[in-house]
Amino acid sequence: MTFNPLEQRGIPLDRQLRNWREMNVQPIDPDRGDPYTRCRIITMNGIEVEAILFSHQLVRNTVDPEVKRQLARTRYIEAQQQKVVNWLLPGVSSVLETTIAYEQVAVDLTAWVARMEPDPYLRQAYQFGVLEDFDHLYRYANLYEMIEHRKAESIVDNLTEVMPGRPTKFHHRDPYDNVREPYDKNEANPLSKLHALTIMSAEQQTMNFYMNTGPTYMEPIARQLYQEIGLIEEEHVTHYESLVDPGETWWEQLVNHEYNECYLYYSFMEQERDPKVKAIWELHLNMELEHLHTACDMMRRYDGREPQEVLAPELPKVLAFEPNKQYLRGLLDTQMDLTTLGAGYVREAHERFEKMQEQIHGGEEPPSERVMAEHDDMFGREYRVQSEGEHPDPAMREK
Amino acid sequence: MSEPRTPQARDDKAKGTDVVALLMRQHGDIRNLFDEVEQSKGKERRNAFHRLVRLLAVHETAEEEVVHPFVRRMVPGGEQVVKDRLAEEKAAKETLATLDKMDTDDPKFMPQLMKLRKDVQEHARAEERYEFIHIRRTTDATNLAAMAKAVKVAEAMAPTHPHPGVESLARNMALGPVAALMDRTKDAVRKAMGND
């Protein structure tokens, strides 16, 4: 299907403001909806949050008050879009349930992007990261059974397996080793730019979510686990944001942001089965088309360049939420023992890694290990969902 | 590969010294039973539904006897918090009474059950967010443990495990109507709390 956002017009900006009635969306069913509908909501919330934060940073670096005003107008609409999207989540869900849904997003979104990424260095960055999110899902799932006596499969619905990935305690690396090399803006495939922006935004939202909701728990092990995984999200944002070429101008970045929003709303509109949610994706796509045109005009005016020079000639193949079980099993089989060294990857624990490990753990088991021990005390087993058979890594099979 | 069933709150090996943690786990047990009723058929569904009704009955009774009086007495503004919860409980009990008289194979059964599931879930979250937080804030470990003990006594009044076969169904029936179970639970809890 060919869909070129540059050739489409959407809803004029001065007709995009919604009143309270239009903002008051019906949340999805917390238990009986499609888990991937919830994944799309969480993803688009992260994308809109990034759009808002990026625009704020841009105006803080802008002198011209007229430009500030123009950005403020678009940003206000984006703030409404964020409210509408995130308010699709039901109030009855607990923070831990939403957390498990966030980790399902991290697993299946990152795995899909890794599968589709044309550049081998970038692909490796996604493959490396996804095994960590995969392990976070497993730790939170065990915490969930302890606190709420519920199984994570009631949330992820057997679309995603729940078992150990690269053990969380090994995710704590020296920050020096979390910085990757960026793609080259002039050489990179346009799809690669969209991927980097999407995963960076999703991880940033996860980081923000854990840093704010973690302390709402009263159970000591829950508070501590959110602290630990929250710090790994900081590492992940560092990892993914460093993939983006910092040589892109502010206006070029703005255009990439708006283009990516068009790409994702279009993708999710194509995939969505919940008619009410689909209508929101469609409406927001029609808004984003105008945001994109506004951004393109700014790029022409302030950069003196045509946006076509940096964008794809047409929208890439739609991004999809779907099970990635076999792909993930392949990674579990081959990439469990990787860590980073400088901008690359190694299999051996090196000196800087060992030192960081020693300092952060302080000679004790971290929360991600203690949660498993406490779960075992309570139930005499672990919680896993291994729908496709035993763990591919014999060392990770349940004892 | 299916995972083993999550045991109910009185069968897990949690230390069980905190009434709030215990009640939150029971909320999960109740949701698990709703799922079991929904996913089963015929005799199994009837059996699961019986266990659900009984767990709901003893859980709500224990909350009425242990948790609500505490909040009413100890928490500023607790009167209103409890009033709101009791209104929700009343609505849920009415649906429960209708369902209890119905055959689980009745075509009207599932829509009613789904309505009850939604009401109970909203009620449980409201308790966790607006009532339970006050309990942990206003009392000490000894009192939390004493209340937990009383709730466990109540929980022991409801059968937790499925009893396949006619025999157990008869046994479940023999436990009598929900109202009588609530009365017996009330007595047992009061005794445990030393109020009798």
The lowest-confidence range among A119-123, A124-128, A370-374, B169-173 is B169-173
Please give the pLDDT value at position A190. Answer: 94
With a cut of 80, say whether residue B92 has pLDDT above it. yes
Please give the pLDDT value at position B160. Answer: 55
CA distance B31 to A188: 49
Average of per-residue pLDDT across A148-157: 96
Q: Say if the Cβ atoms of B29 and A218 lie within 8 Å.
A: no
Considering only CB atoms, B12 lies closest to which of A31, A378, A384, namely A378
Give the pLDDT band of residue B185 (cuts 50, 70, 90): confident
CA distance B95 to B82: 20
Give the chain B residue whose CA is nearest to the CA of A391.
Answer: B1
Please give the pLDDT value at position B195. Answer: 59
Give the chain B residue whose CA is nearest to the CA of A384.
Answer: B3
Q: Say if the Cβ atoms of B24 and A30 lie within 8 Å.
A: no
* Percentage of residues of chain B with pLDDT beyond 90: 45
Residue B3: inside a domain: no
Q: Using the CB atoms, write b or e for A254-285: b if 16+ within 10 Å.
A: bbbbbbbbbbbbbbbbebbebeebbebbebbb
Quick check: B57 and B158 in contact, CB under 8 A? yes
Instruction: Please give the structure tokens belonging to residue A89.
Output: 């989540």
Name the residue range of residue A61's domain: 5-396
Residue B8: inside a domain: no
pLDDT digits (tens, 9 = 90+) for B104-118: 999 999 999 999 999
Considering only CB atoms, A381 lies closest to which of B4, B122, B125, namely B4
Residue B14: inside a domain: no
Considering only CB atoms, A384 lies closest to which of B3, B7, B32, namely B3
CA distance B79 to B73: 8
Q: Say if the Cβ atoms of B13 and A384 lie within 8 Å.
A: no
Quick check: A235 and A171 in contact, CB under 8 A? yes
Work out the minimum CA distance from B28 to partner chain A, whole angstroms. 5
The lowest-confidence range among A118-122, B23-27, B85-89, B192-196 is B192-196
Name the residue range of residue B95's domain: 19-193
Q: What is the ipTM of this complex?
A: 0.90
Considering only CB atoms, B3 lies closest to which of A92, A378, A385, namely A385
CA distance B123 to B88: 6
Strand-pair partners of A341: A344
Count of CB atoms situated within 10 Å of the CB of B79: 11
H or E segment to which residue A159 belongs? none
Q: Which is higher by pLDDT, B184 or A122?
A: A122
pLDDT digits (tens, 9 = 90+) for B18-56: 999 999 999 999 999 999 999 999 999 999 999 999 899
3-state secondary structure of A172: coil
Residues of chain B found within 8 Å of residue A386, distances taken between Cβ atoms: 1
With a cut of 70, say whether residue B99 has pLDDT above it. yes
Overall pTM > 0.90: yes
With a cut of 60, say whether residue B87 has pLDDT above it. yes
Rg (CA), chain B: 17
* A376 touches B: beta carbon within 8 Å: no
* A387 touches B: beta carbon within 8 Å: yes
Number of domains within chain A = 1
Residues of chain B found within 8 Å of residue A92, distances taken between Cβ atoms: 121-122, 125
Instruction: Please give the structure tokens belonging to residue A116.
Output: 């589709």
pLDDT digits (tens, 9 = 90+) for A172-193: 999 999 999 999 999 999 999 9
* Percentage of residues of chain A with pLDDT beyond 70: 100
With a cut of 60, say whether residue B2 has pLDDT above it. no
Number of domains within chain B = 1
Please give the pLDDT value at position A307. Answer: 96
Please give the pLDDT value at position B174. Answer: 46
H or E segment to which residue A341 belongs? strand A339-341
Please give the pLDDT value at position B1. Answer: 37
Q: Say if the Cβ atoms of B125 and A219 lie within 8 Å.
A: no
3-state secondary structure of B184: helix
The lowest-confidence range among A25-29, A315-319, B159-163 is B159-163
DSSP A23: H
Quick check: B14 and A378 in contact, CB under 8 A? yes
